[in-house]
Structures are given as C-alpha cells and as structure tokens.
C-alpha cells in the first residue's frame, strides 16, 4: 500500500513536467504556424522553396495553411493555392497563374498594393480584400467577403455581390465587369467609377449607395422590388451617350441623349432616393449664398425638387415656408409645411408649376418665439441637362459642355473634396450664346472634385473624378 501511494504522489509531481514537454513538442519551433511568415526573395513559383525566405517557421519550405505571406517579386501559381493566413502583395510584386488555377483565401486580410492576375479567386466569408493596386479575375466572381477597391479591379465575366456582403469602390477606385453585375441582398457603395457591360441588377434587399460615384451601364439597370438606391450617384450608358452628344448641336438634342441613354428604362420597382441621383451628368446644384439651412435642388423636365435639413440649433421649429423668385430678389411664398420637430430632420418639396427661365428658391424656417432663419438660395436653370462632364473618370483633361448659360463671360472654378479651390479661370463666350463646349486641361491628383460655372443668369456645377493610372 505504501509503494502504491508513493507512485501516485510521484505521478502528481511529474504531471506538470509532462505537460511542459508535450507543449514544447506540439507548439515548438517549426509547428507554430500562426507565427510563421514567408517573404519572397526572388521571382519564381509559389511551390518552389527558393522563391521564399521564412521567419518563425523552423525549416523553410513553401507557404501554406495559416502562414503569413508577403510577396515582393513576380510569383506564379503552378497549382491551386489555399491560404488561411494574411497575404500582402507589395508595390512591385505580383501574383499570376499558369493554367487553370484558383486562389482560395480564408485569411483575415489580403492587401494588394502590386498586381494580381488570376483565373479565379474564392474569398472567405470573414475575409477582407483591399485593392490598392490592380486585380484582374478572368472568370465569373462571387464576392463572399468584403472588398475595398482603391485601385483598379477588372472582372472578365460576371460579378455577384453575395447576400450580406459589401463591395466598396472608393473615389480613386475603378472597377470594370464584362458580363453583368448582380447585387443580391448586399451593399455596393460606389464613390468612384464602375463600368458594367451588360445588366446591373439590384435585387431584393440590395443597397446601391455612394458619394459621387458613376455607374456606366451598357445595357439595363434594374432596381427590383425590395431594392434600395440612395446617395449621390450618376447612372448612364457612357459610350452611347457620348457618341450621341458628339452629333448634337442643340440643347434639345443633348436632353434627348440623356433621356435615351439612361440605363433604367423604367425598370425601377424598388425604392430610389432621387434627390442625389443623376442621369448622364445632370447637375448637382451648388448654393448661390450661404444660410443657416442647407438647401439643394435639381430641375427636371417638368418640375423641380428641393431638399433641405433643419438647423440643429434652432428651438421650437413650427413651419417651413418655401419661397420662389424669377429674378433672385423678389420672392413669393409657394407653400407652408407645418412641423413640430425637435431634432435634426430632412425635408423635401416638389414644384410642379415651373415658370420659364431661371428659378430661384429659398426656405424660411419659422420658430415658436417669432424668430426665423433663411436658407441659402439656389437657382435652377431652364433646360436639362445644363452641364455635362466627360470622360468619366477624367485623366489629362475634362470636357465641359453646358447649356442655358447667358453672359459675356463664364467663371470656371474647381474645388477639391474638402472645399479647397484648385482652379479658377474666366472663359469668354459670345454674347447671346447659351452653350459651352470646352476642354479643360487637368494636372490634379486622383480624387473627387466639383466643377462650378458662374454666368450672369446663375450658376451650375457637377462632380467629377480624376483617376490617373
């Protein structure tokens, strides 16, 4: 009995040491794959050991599994690759395939600063792809993760944004799809430029959003029941529209070009916030004066739509009086909207009885204590579109076409996304001329800009994107 008790005590005393030995064997050098990092040292195939150096891996071989991979050279894929660790392709580095190969990425982050040309790529549901360089996929692609496009992304096939997933094209981003794009209950944010050869389908539960993005759609844009379109977005079949514009000599012809080349063709069964939506470059109006309430407006063929936001510092708001003028000096009251709001809210009004010529609008905010605030004044010119900028995105120049502007000269101003004036110049025009066709040279960094034209009878503006590859 005494010997058995001593053996039991001995086992208990040795147990911590046995566990330590087991941990050292199981998680020692060469087996701690989560810390293992492979970095390319020369051009070569992924599965060739001389392509890589490694740290924290024990014996170096080729990257796989949970390894972290950093590519600084031209690396080819001679076989399918599956990776669960993070992947970085730095500027000057590239990844390409030989034959029919697939990169399956299930890691957390794939940062692409260089280039990648792949037959196919599968992105894990918890994975994020950041494209700062250039990615080309030569097959249909379904996004099952999160993709951020700051650079160039080309899909030689169809593109599907899977349910619950996000694709975001930033202001510097450029994306092209050769065979249709489907947004299936997902979110697609476009702040830059997306070209779709074929149909753009925003299916039930899908959200198309963005800040100044352009959708260049070669066929139809379909907003299905249950789909949402919002933000400031421009939809157009750019190729057909610009071809039509080049044969135009009158504002009426330009208007027909915009109408005939809208990709929607009435296929809108979902919800669309048309306040910020433009078709083939219809202007985004910039206020004429500053006020306590920001008022914006868009003029269509037979009505004008206004949108404004209440002042957050205003107590006891009781009503909004929408006022209109034909000379910018004497205003009449159009209608009164009563309200009892106490928090920041957005409001809209549509004027369905437009007079001819330029029309000026402002909003008067009435308070319970008898005080009031006035919004800025906006002017909406007769005719549509009043300004068109192309190509989209711009590179070495932007072509400015405008109609309905009167005066002996036009002041042209360009502002950056943060409101800095980067171009200011005067453009002489013949007295009585109501149209402008001018090529503006550009030497601006990539980004989003506003171009503003100021004439004797008002001003118009439009957003454009500069993307220099």
Is there a contact between 359 and 349 (Cβ–Cβ < 8 Å)? no
**Residue given tokens 């999160």 in the structure block:** 146
Q: Is residue 313 part of a domain?
A: yes
b/e burial code for range 137-158 (CB count within 10 A of at least 16 → b): bbebbebbbbbbbbbbbbbeeb
Two tokens, residue 439: 């090529």
Reduced to 3 DSSP states, what percent helix, strand and coil does the chain have, rounded to the nearest 5? 10, 45, 40
CB atoms within 10 A of CB 46: 24
Between the CA of residue 45 and those of 52, 102, 134, 182, what are the distances in Å?
10, 14, 20, 35
What is the spatial distance between Cα 463 and Cα 460, in angstroms, rounded to a whole number?
11
Return the pLDDT at 5.
Answer: 45
Q: Dihedral angle at the C-alpha atoms of 12, 14, 20, 23, nearest 10 degrees?
A: -70
Q: Which of 132, 161, 182 is the last residue of a domain?
A: 132
Q: Is residue 452 part of a domain?
A: yes
Is there a contact between 43 and 75 (Cβ–Cβ < 8 Å)? yes
Return the pLDDT at 95.
Answer: 97
Residues 127 and 254 in one domain: no
Residues 151 and 254 in one domain: yes
Residues 430 and 445 in one domain: yes
CB atoms within 10 A of CB 212: 23
Q: Is residue 9 part of a domain?
A: no
pTM of the predicted structure, to 2 decimals: 0.57
Q: Is residue 2 part of a domain?
A: no
Kindly report the CATH number assigned to the domain that includes residue 312. 2.60.40.10
Residue range of the domain that includes 83: 36-132
- pLDDT in tens for each of the 469 residues of the chain? 444 444 555 555 555 555 444 444 444 443 434 579 999 999 999 999 999 999 999 889 999 999 999 999 999 999 999 999 999 999 999 999 878 899 999 999 999 999 999 999 999 999 999 999 999 999 999 999 999 999 999 999 999 999 999 999 998 899 999 999 999 999 999 998 899 998 899 999 999 999 878 888 888 888 888 899 888 888 877 667 666 655 655 444 554 565 555 665 545 677 876 556 776 654 333 333 344 576 767 666 567 878 776 655 556 788 899 999 988 888 999 999 988 766 656 688 889 888 887 888 889 988 888 888 888 777 776 654 457 777 767 778 888 877 666 666 778 888 876 667 788 888 766 655 556 777 788 888 888 787 888 777 666 777 778 877 6
Is there a contact between 370 and 261 (Cβ–Cβ < 8 Å)? no
Return the pLDDT at 329.
Answer: 82
DSSP SS3 for 130:
strand
Q: Is residue 353 part of a domain?
A: yes
Q: Is residue 21 part of a domain?
A: no
Residues 166 and 248 in one domain: yes
Total domains in the fold of the chain: 4
What is the spatial distance between Cα 327 and Cα 259, in angstroms, rounded to a whole number?
29
Q: Which of 245, 260, 282 is the last residue of a domain?
A: 282
DSSP SS3 for 259:
helix
CA 252 to chain centre: 31
Residues 222 and 324 in one domain: no
Return the pLDDT at 143.
Answer: 96
Tell how strand 277-279 and strand 52-55 pair up.
unpaired
- Give the distance between the most distant pair of CA atoms in the chain: 118
Phi (first) and psi of residue 132, to 5 degrees: -105, -25
Q: Is residue 27 part of a domain?
A: no
Return the pLDDT at 28.
Answer: 45
Residues 152 and 236 in one domain: yes
What is the spatial distance between Cα 463 and Cα 346, in angstroms, rounded to a whole number?
22
What is the spatial distance between Cα 469 and Cα 409, in angstroms, rounded to a whole number?
34
């Amino acid at each position: 009995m005494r010997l058995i008790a001593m053996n039991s005590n001995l086992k208990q005393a040795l147990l911590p040491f046995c566990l330590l030995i087991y941990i050292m064997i199981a998680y020692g050098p060469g087996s701690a794959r989560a810390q293992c990092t492979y970095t390319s040292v020369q051009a070569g195939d992924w599965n060739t050991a001389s392509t890589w150096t490694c740290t924290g891996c024990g014996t170096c071989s080729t990257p796989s599994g949970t390894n972290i991979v950093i590519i600084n050279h031209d690396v080819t894929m001679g076989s399918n690759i599956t990776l669960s660790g993070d992947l970085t392709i730095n500027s000057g580095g590239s990844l390409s395939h030989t034959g029919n190969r697939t990169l399956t990425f299930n890691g957390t982050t794939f940062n692409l600063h260089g280039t990648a040309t792949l037959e196919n790529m599968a992105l894990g549901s918890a994975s994020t792809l950041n494209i700062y360089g250039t990615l080309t996929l030569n097959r249909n692609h379904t996004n099952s993760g999160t993709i951020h496009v700051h650079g160039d992304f080309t899909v030689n096939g169809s593109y599907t944004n899977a349910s619950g997933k996000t694709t975001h094209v930033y202001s510097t981003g450029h994306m092209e799809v050769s065979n249709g794009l489907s947004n299936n209950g997902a979110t697609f944010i476009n702040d830059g430029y997306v070209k779709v050869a074929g149909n753009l389908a925003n299916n039930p539960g899908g959200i198309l959003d963005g800040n100044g993005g352009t959708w260049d759609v070669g066929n139809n844009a379909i907003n299905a029941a249950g789909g949402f379109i919002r933000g400031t977005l421009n939809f157009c079949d750019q190729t057909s529209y610009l071809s039509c514009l080049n044969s135009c000599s009158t504002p009426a012809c330009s208007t027909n070009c915009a109408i005939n080349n809208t990709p929607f063709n009435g296929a809108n069964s979902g919800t669309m916030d048309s306040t910020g939506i433009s078709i083939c470059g219809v202007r985004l109006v910039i206020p004429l004066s500053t006020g306590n309430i920001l008022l914006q407006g868009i003029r269509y063929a037979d009505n004008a739509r206004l949108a404004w936001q209440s002042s957050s510092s205003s107590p006891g708001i009781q009503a909004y009086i929408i006022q209109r003028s034909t000379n910018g000096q004497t205003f009449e009251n159009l209608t009164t909207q009563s309200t009892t709001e106490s928090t920041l809210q957005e409001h809209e009004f549509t004027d369905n009885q437009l007079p001819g010529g330029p029309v000026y609008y402002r909003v008067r905010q009435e308070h319970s204590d008898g005080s009031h605030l006035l919004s800025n004044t906006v002017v909406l010119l007769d005719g549509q579109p009043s300004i068109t900028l192309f190509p989209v995105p711009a590179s070495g120049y932007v072509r400015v076409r405008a109609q309905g502007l009167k005066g002996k000269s036009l002041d042209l101003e360009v502002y950056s996304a943060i409101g800095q004036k980067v171009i200011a110049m005067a453009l002489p025009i013949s007295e009585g001329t109501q149209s402008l066709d001018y090529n503006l040279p550009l030497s601006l960094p990539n980004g989003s800009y506003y171009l503003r034209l100021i004439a004797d009878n008002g001003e118009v503006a439009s957003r454009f994107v500069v993307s220099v590859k």
